Amino acid sequence: MGSATKFLLGIGVLNLIIALWAMGSYNGLVSRQQATDAQWAQVENVYQRRADLVPNLVSTVSGAANFEKSTLIAVTNARASVGRVQLPAGGAPTDPAQLAAFEQAQGQLGSALSRLLVVSEQYPDIKATAGFRDLQAQLEGTENRISVERGRFNEAVRAYDTAIRRFPAVMLAGTMGFTSRPYFTATAGSETPPKVQFDFNATPAKP
């Protein structure tokens, strides 16, 4: 075997190794990306579950005499704001501003629902209703699931963002369209419970 043949054979083997490495890196990044998309779908599911509970919850408490109308309006408006947030279909957000808008809208709905539950504590007739207790339990369970799924989403994004920055995958990620994705962040003031003031000396409204 001549030296030229050996050289060409060596080049061929090297190209094969590079091709196999590139294919493996690409497939690994695709798997990471799909994991973030799958976890984002779970996030959307639990948020949708909360939104679906709102109409029944509002309907249950709105029948109570003198119930705070401003609280019901806030919940209804917050739910509508969530529906107006535009996100890309078929995958997790790649634009931090889009995710921030989504977080803000969901945070407003969460705060409005927290206030509604706090206000409801002042109405024994509502608290004694089996339907309300069931909705309250479902809402509390959903809030827990939201926290869990957000955490899992952040873990998936962290693994993906780390993978596209590691050598040698970083040399291919940009050219193959793999860009970093934003995380969920703690909402400012989320650790503070809603402040609710009642004016028990006010004259009740006539039915």
Domain range for 125 is 9-173
- Cβ count within 10 A of residue 145: 17
Look at residue 195 and tell me if it is in a domain.
no
Q: Work out how many domains the chain is built from and give that number.
A: 1
pLDDT for 28: 84
Look at residue 62 and tell me if it is in a domain.
yes
Look at residue 180 and tell me if it is in a domain.
no
Cβ-contact 36, 181 below 8 angstroms = yes
Look at residue 204 and tell me if it is in a domain.
no
Look at residue 184 and tell me if it is in a domain.
no
What pTM was computed for the model?
0.78
pLDDT in tens, the chain (207 residues): 667 676 666 677 666 666 666 676 788 888 999 999 999 999 999 999 999 999 999 988 887 767 888 899 999 999 999 989 988 877 889 899 999 999 999 999 999 999 999 998 888 888 888 888 999 999 999 999 999 999 999 999 999 999 898 888 787 787 778 889 999 986 544 434 334 343 333 433 333
Look at residue 196 and tell me if it is in a domain.
no
Look at residue 56 and tell me if it is in a domain.
yes
